A and B are shown apart, each in its own frame.
Chain A
Amino acid sequence: MERCLTELEERPQDRELLAEIFRSVHTIKGTTGFLGFSRLESLAHAGENLLDLLRDGRLLANANIITGLLALLDILREILGSIESTGQEGQGDDVLMIHRLHALQHDSKEYSATSGNMPAADNFQPASQKKKRIRRTKARNAAAIAPLPGAEIVKSQAETKTIEIYQAEPQAAQMRAAVNTAESTLRVDVDLLNRMMNLVGELVLTRNQILQMVSADANLTMLSRRLDMVTADLREAVMKARMQPVSHVFSKFPRMVRDLAQQLNKRVRLVMEGQETELDKSLLEAIKDPLTHSVRNAIDHGIEMPHQREASGKDPEGTLRLRAYQEGSHVIIEVSDDGGGMKVERIRDKALGCKLITRERAAQLSDRELMQLIFLPGFSTAEAVTNVSGRGVGMDVVRTNVEKIGGKVEIDSHAGKGTTLRLRIPLTLAIVPALIVHSRGQSFALPQGALSELVHLSSEQVQTQVEWMEGAALYRLRGKLLPLVFLGSLLKQQELADEPREVYIAVLNAEGRRYGLVVDGLADPEEIVVKPLSSVLKQIGLFSGATVLGNGEMALILDPGAIATQSNIGMALEGDEPEVVDANLKDGSAEYLLMQSASEHTAVPLNSVLRIERIPRAQMEWLNGVSVLRVDGALLPLKDRTDKDAVASSEGEMTVVVCRDGERHVGVAVTQVLDVASGKPLNEAGTNVATRDAVLLKDKVTSMIDLRQIPALPGSRHQNDQMETWQEDGVVEALP
């Protein structure tokens, strides 16, 4: 009905819409009268009278009438909610509301649509606004499940038959359709689904264990492959069962946008796309608040007042676009407005004003980095605090909430053109990819989402390259100081005797904070099933859960954000990795990954390296003369630069450097990865043209591997989605 009402505002003449609204109000009136809920009945009656005039065309729906009807709807919902929870209608004075509806009947001809709210509406609005928020969720669930208007009562009262009698006549056809869907679908308890998900998670663990044990027996290998496949399918099916279309969250926005726009005297058109995109139910719940916040922000801060818009040559009606789509293993939800955009100078001044950054720091930051400042706690650019937004709790909450579920927030804004906020949400929560790290003999799981790279330090390097500043350990990562946190000492684990030893630094990016976590060792990345911890252990604060690893061992899951907080790691405002590399390129030198292929030294630019893997030679396959690797269900073209002798045999392992070439990913197989070195491309003697094939690294001329020369896969058009299965955050693993 809410949807109908907002639609009615756009098409006040639509007979069918009016009839639909009328029918649902009438149903409520009839049923409640029958059941003896007098409050509901009198309210619905007042609403019906008004709708009657509208339906007969004696009155034209305007903003006032619709606001009144929406307010009526809120009260009806509130009463229904109280019936649902207590069985009573609850106390309340409806005279005001009924009077208001009456007034609308008689006076709305004199009121012009633009003259603002009625006096009665002013008194009424704040109260109903507050209650609405509480009630809406409940009512929405009911409305979403039931295909018929008025069926909210069915749920609260379970008086199904009464309703059916009422609606059988006018809506016979609709009923039949509803019955058909009822036969092919089944309502399942969420608890049961959660239990199923848990069991499937268990199955995944058992499968992992079996896969690790299987080696000798060929039959068993076959069987375990099959188990692997079935488990994967089952997992997908159960995950699908938990999926709900984002329209469940989106559907509340038309009303919200309308209310907000009216409150702020702005004109906003809401466009929603991809409502059928599906997302895990728990995730959907989790993004509800951040998304609501983003939408409020966009209307309050983004879209300008109509006269301002006209002055800058735009349509006085602003457009707010909500778009959801799937991209690989993520769902992207975009909130974009065509408003004023964010002025970088204003952000900077505001950040300085709120003392969030120092003046020196602000001068160093690029526009993009300044844009990130809005995610700092306590930041708001709204001139005045309104009751819509501007209290300084804002984007940081959005970011924290989204990162809590393993997602990311990106922002893109052009002054005068508008702002786009992109929420990147993983498809599921229950199973996450994680890197298993060791500290003092114990295993811990580190979620891959926060991991940006790994650095290996040998025991001598630990002595020389980890620098200390008054007790704080630092490491120079490509010229920038990276604060280090030692996992062993953070967890107060007992020291093992054999110092000094080699360590790994996991460079983490958590909630905008960047630091290195020092661990003793690394194991394979694994897909882990997150198990909640008991409340006593949650209080430690450093662990987000526990999991059972493939080898049957238990591991605690580290929470990178909490570790950063406990170690007092501040916000890092430096840009992302690619920018650092770009800065290097300006002075002509860049960093390269130095590798040994056969007896020759070769190199690839470091910024194109995604990760390094050791893969058994036997996994390499041939496709129309191109050597390829199968990785995560995608094909990776491979250039083999290892020994000619080794090529012939299919035994042993090879090191594959996975690189990015434009949009596709390619692999280079080499004998060994040596080091990272910076160098300059060489000019050919007598010319100013840099050769593409050679670079001076460590005072030696090293040949460059031209990634573009790696042949494309037969029939491939470098399609983007083919590469989607690749992880977003490539892990550069420095091998010893």
Chain B
Amino acid sequence: MCSVRVGQTLYGIPVTSIVEILGKPAKQPVPLAPGYIGGLVHYRGEVLTTVSLRSLLKMPSHDAVEDILVFEGADGYFGLLVDEVSEVITVLPADFEGNPSTLDDRRKALFAGTYKLSNALLVMLDPERLDPVHLAEAEMA
């Protein structure tokens, strides 16, 4: 699992689903776009729409440049803005547990569960649920 940090929390994403990691590229904001859209990034000759994990979690935005994970979604590639990409961690399926029922609905919809690490929890993200197409549909409903 590739681990990324946003705020104080450590999040995990299956390495196999990641197409590419872009280190701190310049992004262009899109006026009038839904709040979770982080902006546009030039990616290999294409225009990459990015989703900001911070705004998805309703965390205050910060000015620092963010790293981008590139995924392949239903509507072509999309990017996920995170504060920082850290290391790749190997986890055991035995350590997995589902979302706790006390979690708020917004987060329940985004998180796939969590892995218990020795010193912290690794919150699993599901790239499919972060796809802007999926998010737009969720917003509609």
CB of B30 closer than 8 Å to a CB of A: yes
Most A-side CB within 10 Å, residue of B31, B34, B47: B31
- Measured CB to CB, the closest approach of chain B to A415, in angstroms, equals 48
Name A401-450 residues within 8 Å CB distance of B. 442
Beta-carbon contact of B29 and A539 below 8 Å:
no
Task: Give Cα distance in the complex from A652 to B41, angstroms.
Answer: 38
A227 an interface residue at 8 Å Cβ cutoff? no
Q: Number of residues in B with C-beta < 8 Å to the partner?
A: 24
Residues of A contacting B76 in the complex (Cβ-Cβ under 8 angstroms): 534
Smallest Cβ-Cβ distance to A533: which chain B residue: B47
Report B-chain residues with C-beta under 8 Å of the C-beta of A491. 31-32
Q: Does B64 contact A (CB under 8 A)?
A: no
Q: CA separation between A584 and B47, bound complex, in Å?
A: 48
Contact of A536 among B26, B27, B29, B132 (CB under 8 A): B132
Contact between A534 and B28 (Cβ–Cβ < 8 Å)?
no
> Given A442-B28, A537-B33, A542-B32, do A198 and B45 touch, yes or no (CB 8 Å)?
yes
Taking CB atoms, residues of chain A closer than 8 Å to B37 are: 536-537
A442 touches B29 (CB 8 A): yes
CB distance from A555 to the nearest CB of B (A): 7
Task: Give residues 9-57 of B contacting A (CB, 8 Å).
Answer: 26-34, 37, 40-42, 45-47, 49
Interface size on A, residues (CB 8 A): 28
Annotate A199-242 by CB proximity to B: 1 below 8 A, 0 otherwise. Answer: 10110010000000000000000000000000000000000000
Q: How far is the CA of A536 from the CA of B40 in the complex (A)?
A: 12
Chain A residues in 8 Å Cβ range of B33: 536-537, 540
Within 8 A of A (CB), among B109-139: 132-133, 135-136
A493 and B42 contact, CB distance less than 8 A: no
Q: Does B75 contact A (CB under 8 A)?
A: yes
Cβ distance A494 to chain B, nearest Cβ, rounded Å: 10
Q: Mark A529-554, 1 if CB is under 8 A from B, else 0.
A: 00111111101101101101000111
**Interface assignment of A492: CB less than 8 Å from any CB of chain B:** yes
B71: Cβ under 8 A from any A Cβ: no
Does A628 lie at the interface of the complex (its beta carbon under 8 Å from any beta carbon of B)? no
Residue of A at shortest CB range from B51?
A536
Interface centre among A546, A552, A553 (most CB of B within 10 A): A546
- Within the complex, what minimum Cβ distance (angstroms) separates B45 from chain A? 4
A556 interface hit (Cβ, 8 Å): yes
Q: Which of B39-93 contact A (CB under 8 A)?
A: 40-42, 45-47, 49, 75-76, 78
Chain B CB within 10 A, most for which of A201, A202, A534, A539: A534
Tell me what chain A mostly uses at the interface: helix, strand, loop, or mixed: mixed
A309: min CB distance to chain B, Å: 55
Q: What residue of chain A has the Cβ atom nearest to residue B77's Cβ?
A: A534
Q: Most chain-B Cβ atoms within 10 A of its Cβ — which of A531, A537, A552, A556?
A: A537
B31 touches A493 (CB 8 A): yes
Q: In the bound complex, how far is the Cα of B31 from the Cα of A542, in angstroms? A: 10
How far in angstroms is the closest Cβ of chain B from A442?
7
- Evaluate contact between B30 and A548: CB separation under 8 angstroms: no
Q: Are B133 and A535 neighbours in the complex by a CB distance under 8 Å?
A: yes
A548-B42, A554-B40, A554-B42 known; A537+B31 contact, CB < 8 A: no
Residues of A within 8 A of B34 (CB): 536
Contact present for A492 and B31 (CB under 8 Å): yes
Chain B, residue nearest A536 (CB): B132
Assembled-state Cα–Cα distance A553/B28 (Å) = 8
Judging by beta carbons under 8 Å apart, are B46 and A531 in contact?
yes
In the bound complex, do residue B47 and residue A554 qualify as a contact, i.e. CB atoms below 8 Å apart? yes
Check A556–B30 contact: CB distance below 8 A.
yes
Identify the closest chain A residue to B134 (Cβ). A536
Residues of chain A contacted by B46 (CB below 8 angstroms): 198, 531
User: Please, which residues of chain B bring their CB within 8 A of the CB of A543?
Assistant: 30
Cα A545 to Cα B132 with chains together (Å): 17
Closest residue on chain A to residue B40 by CB atoms: A554
What are the residues of chain A within 8 A of B135 when measuring CB–CB?
A: 536
Are A199 and B133 in contact, CB atoms less than 8 angstroms apart?
no
Q: Do residues A555 and B28 form an inter-chain contact, with CB atoms below 8 A?
A: yes
Contacts of B27 in A (CB 8 A): 554
Closest chain-A Cβ to B40's Cβ sits at a distance in Å of 5
- Chain A residues proximal to chain B, CB less than 8 Å: 198-199, 201-202, 205, 442, 491-493, 531-537, 539-540, 542-543, 545-546, 548, 552-556
What 7 pairs across the A-B complex have the smallest Cβ distances? Answer: A491-B31, A554-B28, A534-B49, A202-B45, A536-B132, A531-B47, A546-B47
What are 16 A-to-B residue pairs whose CB atoms are below 8 Å? Answer: A205-B45, A442-B31, A531-B47, A534-B47, A534-B132, A534-B133, A535-B75, A535-B136, A536-B33, A536-B49, A540-B30, A552-B42, A554-B40, A556-B28, A556-B30, A556-B31
